[in-house]
Amino acid sequence: MDEVILTRNVSKYYGKVRAVDGISLSVRKGEIYGCIGLNGAGKTTMIRLLLGMIHPTAGASFVCGKQVHSGNHDLWKNIGYLVETPHSYPDLTVRENLEIVRRLRFISDKKSVDAVMNKLQLGPYAERKAKHLSLGNAQRLGLAKALLHNPEILILDEPTNGMDPAGIVEIRNLLRTLASDHGVTIFISSHILGEISKLTTRIGIIHEGRLIQEVDTNQLDRLRRKRLLLNTFDNIAAQALLRTQGYPVNVSEEGTLEVTSQHAIDHPEAISTLLVQAGLPPTLLRVDEESLESYFLRVIGMLGGVK
Amino acid sequence: MRSILATFWAEILKIRKSRIFLMSLLISFFIPLMMGFLMFVVKNPELSSKLGIVSTKASMFGKADWPTYFGLLTEGIAGIGALGFAFVTSWVFGREYSDRTVTDLLALPVSRSSIVLSKFMVVVLWCAFLSLIFFVFGLFVGVVVNVSGWSGEIALLAANRFAVTSFLTILLCTPIAFFASYGRGYLPPMGFAIATLIAAQFIGILGLAPYFPWAIPVTYSTVGTGSSQIGVISFGILFITCIVGCLATFAWWRFADQT
């Protein structure tokens, strides 16, 4: 069986509020699946459904072929998770917090606590009480709890929340290694597309509780809009010239000319030659690619706009 | 069994490292001390004129003998103890919500029932331990204050009554556990505990105390004084309340959405 995580038309309603609405998705073994959406889009609800913390109003979720429900506790043996901002017992030290998880997960190897602290650079804070940790280190402790038992599946909600840039890169590399070298399947949620796109192999965009697009990360490049931006000393003449040659030209918000024809984007040198031969040498000629954030906003805007 | 051992170990660690545990011990020492002080005031009427409201309260006890003092301790565990036990239960269950650590307990290889059962076990042990301190230190204070009229028979009878009252009071922790879970914190269960104590006073005035679960322990504590009407029905009502609270708490953890 290749699908490690599977949801079938899963929905969760709170009264009239549709937190998650008929989402069907699957995550294959070793895949890093990124779930992205605005705050309140339904990402955390989706994660809680996958972890059996809430019951679906309709549909079902499956992990390793077994249906998720709160009584099926054997299911969680090989799953590590982190939901929203991680919280730990404030009066217990980092080591004690991890020791509790070690016992509750029946891990006989006592060195596993030290191992995971080293993996997440928590060694120097081992005897520090959780309430005295910085947000970044609290996040590391949350991740350490998720990774302590070397799980085959990781379900992580905003795992790099509160971390500094170096920490974000470190965690990204760690998760990548877990997926590529150890075959760990990772389901991760975030509202930062840039971060998700650097880590995941597939992205699902959730908006207003619905999965509105799934895309392989390596296809993102193809899906993002491109345009050729150019400037000359006489943009009006240049615009007229390009139009006579069959290129659709608009004036961008910045006042530069904007050509969206695929030929112009693929061959900017042809446009340059054309302009130079007409005595309108370009002072600016650049292929501009839509940012990930713009792409994301455009996708969710296509279905009713950003709310 | 392995699940119970693991969850019980975790609960004990959480309690051992908390300030609340130490505070609860201090309160268990403090209250008998105050009760002993009241006995001391009764024994020394010359102090009364200087102590105002304390002397008024002390004068309510009439005599400074061991039966009176034991009665005071027993009523104390049924009244003040009930609030203390409610606080202990609220903390054990509600702190997981207040500290937002509950999510760490919901998707583990141990069943949620094991977690709830372990929490109930530590509540019972903790409250029983506090009761023991309350009574033993109360005895010590009584000896120091030199309360009169000691006899082994009276002490044995009082110890028995105190133990049963304490046990009945502990049984009422299960609805508190439910409200701590349902209310996701400390305030709803403490509100419930205070409301039941107030309600018990009014219901007592109406003469229905033997039928109101939260009035039964304090009513039982007065057995032998002629004012008690505790019988099988009262015990039955209290046990049913305990079982309902217990089942509701298990069901909440097992079936409710944990958002």
* A298 domain-assigned: no
- Inter-CA distances, B44 with A27, A190, B31, B50, B56, Å: 80, 72, 20, 11, 13
Residue A21 shares a structural domain with residue A134: yes
Helix A135-147 crosses helix A111-119 at what angle (to 10 degrees)?
Answer: 130
Amino acid at A173: N
Residue A39 shares a structural domain with residue A140: yes
Residues of A with CB below 8 A from B101's CB?
Answer: 87-89
Per-residue pLDDT tens for A230-242?
999 999 999 999 9
Residue A25 shares a structural domain with residue A145: yes
The band of B50, judged by pLDDT with boundaries at 50, 70 and 90, is low
A196 and A190 in contact (C-beta within 8 Å)?
A: yes
Residue among A53, A79, A90 minimizing CB distance to B258:
A53
Residues of B with CB below 8 A from A101's CB?
Answer: 104
CATH number at residue A237: 3.30.70.270
Are residues A71 and B254, on separate chains, in Cβ contact within 8 Å? yes
* A301 domain-assigned: no
pLDDT at B114 over 90: yes
Q: Is residue A81 within a helix (H) or strand (E), and if so which, with residue range? A: strand A79-82
CA-based nearest residue to A47, from A150, A188, A143, A162? A188
B73 Cβ contact partners less than 8 Å away, ≥ 6 residues apart: B32, B35, B134, B135, B138, B158, B162
Q: How far off is chain A from B253, nearest CA to CA, in Å?
A: 9
String of DSSP letters for A217-280 = GGGHHHHS-EEEEEE-S-HHHHHHHHHHTT--EEE-TTSSEEE--HHHHH-HHHHHHHHHHTT-
Residue A190 shares a structural domain with residue A279: no
d(CA B45, CA B48): 5
Residue A151 shares a structural domain with residue A264: no
For chain B, the domain total comes to 1
Residues of A with CB below 8 A from B91's CB?
Answer: none
* A185 domain-assigned: yes
Per-residue pLDDT tens for B59-72?
666 677 888 889 88
A81 and B107 in contact (C-beta within 8 Å)?
A: yes
* A66 domain-assigned: yes
Kindly state the average pLDDT of the residues B104-112: 92
CATH number at residue A45: 3.40.50.300
Residue among A55, A71, A92 minimizing CB distance to B257:
A55
Best A104, A127, A128 member to test B by mutation, with max B CBs in 10 Å, is: A104
Q: How far off is chain B from A185, nearest CA to CA, in Å?
A: 17
A·B CB contacts under 8 A: 80
| Domain end marker among A192, A221, A250 | A221
Residue A150 shares a structural domain with residue A134: yes
For strands A32-36 and A185-190, give the pairing. parallel
* A295 domain-assigned: no
* A307 domain-assigned: no
Residue A231 shares a structural domain with residue A89: no
CA nearest to A50 within chain B: B107
Q: ipTM of this predicted complex?
A: 0.86
* A230 domain-assigned: yes
CA nearest to A88 within chain B: B101
Residue A63 shares a structural domain with residue A26: yes
Residue among A81, A85, A106 minimizing CB distance to B107:
A81
CA nearest to A48 within chain B: B259
pLDDT at A303 over 50: no
For chain A, the domain total comes to 2
B83 and B192 in contact (C-beta within 8 Å)?
A: no
Query: What pLDDT does residue A307 have?
Result: 40
Residue A99 shares a structural domain with residue A165: yes
CA-based nearest residue to B149, from B56, B252, B228, B43? B43
In this structure, how many other beta carbons lie within 10 angstroms of the beta carbon of residue A219? 11
Per-residue pLDDT tens for A37-67?
888 889 999 999 999 999 999 999 999 999 9
CA-based nearest residue to A146, from B107, B1, B195? B107
pLDDT at A281 over 70: yes
List the domain range (segments joined by +) for residue B235: 2-255
CA nearest to B257 within chain A: A54
The band of A302, judged by pLDDT with boundaries at 50, 70 and 90, is low
* A132 domain-assigned: yes
The band of B236, judged by pLDDT with boundaries at 50, 70 and 90, is very high
Residues of B with CB below 8 A from A55's CB?
Answer: 255, 257
Residue A212 shares a structural domain with residue A242: no
Best A103, A108, A149 member to test B by mutation, with max B CBs in 10 Å, is: A103
Residue among B7, B99, B112 minimizing CB distance to A87:
B99
List the domain range (segments joined by +) for residue A237: 226-289
Residue A283 shares a structural domain with residue A144: no
Residue A132 shares a structural domain with residue A169: yes
Per-residue pLDDT tens for A138-192?
999 999 999 999 999 999 998 888 788 888 888 888 898 888 888 899 999 988 8
d(CA B12, CA B119): 9
In degrees to the nearest 10, what's the CA dihedral of A203, A205, A209, A210?
-90
